[in-house]
Amino acid sequence: MTAALALIALLTIGTAVAAMSRRSLLNSVLLLAGSWVGIAAFFLWAGAEFAAFAQALIYVGAISMALLFAVLLTRRSREDFAPGPAVRSRALYAMLAGAALAGVLLAAVARGSLAVAPSPVPVVTVRQLGRQLMGPHAASLLVTGVLLTVALIGAVVVAAGGGPEKPEDAP
Amino acid sequence: MSPAATTNDPLLERAPVILRDWLTAFLPEPARWLANCLIIIVAILAVFGLLFAFLTLAERKILGRVQNRPGPNRTGWCGLLQPFADGIKMLTKEDIVPRAANPVLHFIAPVVILAASILTFAVIPYGRHLLPVELDAAVLYFFAAGAATELAVFTAGWASHNKYALLAAMRALAQLISYELPLLLSVVPVVLATGTLSTSGIVAAQSGWKWGVVPHWVVFTPWGAAAFAIFMVSALAESNRSPFDLPEAESELIAGHLTEFSGFKYALFFMAEYFAMCASSGLAVTLFLGGWHAPLPALEFIPSYVWFAVKFAALLFGFILVRATMPRLRIDQLTRFAWKFLVPLALVNLGTVAFWSLTFQWAGPLQLLRWAVALGLVAGPYVLLGRGLTTGLGTRTYRFA
């Protein structure tokens, strides 16, 4: 089990580090997708099936697509690599922003209570998960659902709108 | 194959499990578990590998029959050895990698797309005792495993370092993303009505017969029929099959994102396409056609996996027949069809199934009202949206043709 965790950690962190160090944005996105697969594998390792599949479906399937389209629609040429920082102050600001985020994350990790002794693994079925979401967290679920549905219908309306269509475009 | 066979089932029903246990009986406990898993994996790969081989042959034969020609008939008896001849040809072809291509990604793309499509076979219940992996969230797993397909298509187009391949990959992505939505939305009603994400649970919910003759399959409800139709159309598009095969479009475009692939890598893409078609058909049988249940109580003596195979083969035949009869769509027609027709229809269908679930205790004449309202909720949007799809668009005039 520990060996599997080490492998998963290596995959997750290794691809993330590689993604940060690549100059080509598209390579970074593909490596980042590998890192997300690693996180999904970690959830699977920890016994959180539902979270693992949702992670794979949403991050690997959808968010990677959003990133790819964003990169492809904004770059000017194939060799449009992310340039190094032009002045030293920019690199410094970047370091500061990164350090602030790392500080927040580290503080959160340090404050959380990490059980050293192995605790009994809770068995959570999808049914229980659904009852939790539909019971105590129904309001937030509803708000999220309405937001996403509005976005979806908005996308349909945007796609359906536009000027009068030309007769050449007849289906 | 994991659920333990109960002894009161007929012998034929338990035959695969008995065979597996007999093969691994001499092994000690942990090794037996591993061997059982390996046997399941080998069985899936062997069955679907051979199915892929003969599906290509069946497709060419049926297409030939539809087009009034014999199809392949020179290799072996009636051309039965044609798939193996094709396989040898593909294996011995030169594997060309363009000089400017990214060799690593060029290699990884076909491997990832094939691996993703094979993973989806794990959660389909092929028979009463033939479910490879029993998962609580099996339906979610099915789509999560297939999520890497889009990434692989993009990688294939981008790694080729060919602007046409990249453009084609973007077009293929637009198609895959557009049809992923109605595909998922057409599965939601089944999950909503059966109250479970596990494939075995969904099959169990479709057992039994009304009045002893009409099976409790999802497809025999108004919302189920609509969801089944939306699912099959989206599955056609997701597996790049005609009439949605314009990512490849062998007669108009070169081969889309597959332009720079040759030899066995090219074959791997096709294998993945056929596997995706098989997986979608398997899921459709599981979700809508009652899985491995027999259509009539009197026919239950036939083993469950035979019923699964019969339904599965019927859907595959439908896929091939559609390819033989439908002309290819244009990209704008394709995306318009997804966003202006299938997605709204699938969204309305969610409301229909909610109504159906809320009125499950209606009886007598109210039952008729329930059917009428549900049928209206299915047919009304279909007619209205279908009209909206073509309003203002007259018949096409070919000025330069």
Helix (H) or strand (E) holding B215: strand B214-215
Shortest Cα–Cα distance, B196 to chain A (Å): 7
- Of A26, A49, A169, nearest to B135 by CB-CB distance is A49
- CA-to-CA separations, B354 to B25, B40, B98, B185, in angstroms, rounded: 49, 38, 53, 13
Q: Is A30's CB within 8 Å of B393's CB?
A: no
B168 and B329 in contact (C-beta within 8 Å)?
Answer: no
Separation CA B124–CA B139 (nearest Å): 9
User: Minimal CA–CA distance to B147: which of A68, A56, A28?
Assistant: A56
pTM for the complete prediction?
A: 0.87
In the block, tokens 């893409």 appear at B269
Quick one: CA dihedral A48, A50, A53, A59, positive or negative?
A: negative
Alpha-carbon gap: B10 to the closest alpha carbon of chain A (Å)? 32
**Vertex A136 angle, CA A130 and A137, to 5°:** 70
Nearest to B123 by CA among B103, B149, B141, B97: B141
Which 132-151 residues of chain B touch chain A by CB within 8 A?
135-137, 140-141, 143-148, 150-151
Backbone angles phi, psi at B153, to 5 degrees: -60, -45
Size of interface A-B (CB pairs under 8 A): 100
Q: Residue B197: CB partners within 8 Å, gap ≥ 6?
A: A126, B136, B137, B138, B139, B140, B191
Q: Rounded to the nearest 5 degrees, what angle is found at the Cα of B174, between the Cα atoms of B172 and B178?
A: 120
Q: Rounded distance, CA A33 to CA B154, Å?
A: 13
Domain extents in chain B: 65-94, 97-385
In this prediction, residue A42 carries a pLDDT of: 92
Which phi and psi (to 5°) does residue B65 adopt? -60, -45
ipTM: 0.81
- CA atoms of A32 and B101, how far apart (whole Å): 21
The alpha carbon of residue B7 is apart from the nearest alpha carbon of chain A, in Å, by 29
Could you list the mean pLDDT of each consecutive 10-residue stretch along chain A, which spans 171 residues? 90 92 84 92 88 90 85 67 74 92 92 70 77 88 90 76 56 50
Lookup: tokens for B247: 């990512």
Instruction: Read off the pLDDT of residues B74-125 as tens digits, 9 standing for 90 and up.
Output: 888 888 899 999 889 988 998 888 888 888 889 999 999 999 999 999 999 9
What pLDDT does A162 receive?
58
Say yes or no: B197 contacts chain A, CB-CB below 8 A. yes
User: Which residue in B151, B196, B393 is closest to A169 by CB distance?
Assistant: B393
3-state secondary structure of B209: strand
- Residue whose entry in the numeric block shows the structure tokens 């299915």: B378
Q: Are A50 and B140 in contact (CB under 8 A)?
A: yes
Residue B2 has a pLDDT of 45
What are the pLDDT tens digits along chain B (401 aa)? Answer: 444 545 667 878 888 888 888 888 888 878 888 888 899 999 999 999 999 999 999 999 999 999 999 888 888 888 889 999 988 998 899 888 888 888 888 999 999 999 999 999 999 999 888 888 888 889 999 999 888 888 899 889 888 888 888 888 888 888 888 898 899 999 999 999 998 889 999 999 998 888 888 898 999 999 999 999 999 999 999 888 888 888 777 777 777 888 888 888 988 988 999 999 999 999 999 999 988 998 888 888 888 899 999 999 999 999 999 999 988 888 888 888 888 899 999 999 999 999 999 988 888 888 889 889 899 999 998 988 888 777 666 666 666 65
B204 CB near a chain A CB, below 8 Å?
A: no
Can you state the angle between helices B365-390 and B343-358, rounded to 10 degrees?
Answer: 170
**Taking chain B, what is the end-to-end CA distance rounded to the nearest angstrom?**
58
State the pLDDT at residue B14.
Answer: 80
Can you give the length of chain B in residues?
401
Q: Which CA distances in Å does B149 have to A100, B145, B234? A: 37, 9, 15
Q: How far is A104 from chain B, CA to nearest CA, in Å?
A: 31
**Can you read off the two tokens belonging to residue B50?**
């051979």
Q: What share of chain A is helix, strand, coil (3-state, %, to 5)?
A: 75, 0, 25
CB distance from B309 to chain A under 8 Å?
no
Alpha-carbon Rg for chain B, nearest whole angstrom, is 23
Could you tell me which residues of chain A have a Cβ less than 8 Å from any Cβ in chain B? 26, 30, 33, 37, 40, 49-50, 52-54, 56-57, 60-62, 64-65, 68-69, 72, 78, 125-127, 149, 152-153, 155-156, 159-160, 164-165, 167-171
Number of CB atoms found within 10 A of residue B2's CB? 14
* Residue B384 amino acid letter: L
CB B169 within 8 A of CB B256: yes
Least CB–CB distance from B158: residue in A26, A49, A149? A26
Summarised one tens digit per residue, pLDDT across range B294-308 is 888 888 888 889 999
Asked whether the beta carbons of A90 and B177 are under 8 A apart, the reply is: no
The helix (run of H) or strand (run of E) holding residue B210 is strand B209-210
Q: Are the beta carbons of B92 and B85 closer than 8 angstroms?
A: no
Residue position matching structure tokens 């057409």:
B186
The helix, strand and coil proportions of chain B, stated in percent and rounded to the nearest 5, come to 70, 0, 30
Q: Are B381 and B347 in contact (CB under 8 A)?
A: no
Q: What tokens appear for B350 in the block? A: 């969610």
pLDDT at B1: 46
Q: How far apart are CA A81 and CA A26, in angstroms?
A: 9
pLDDT of residue A166: 56
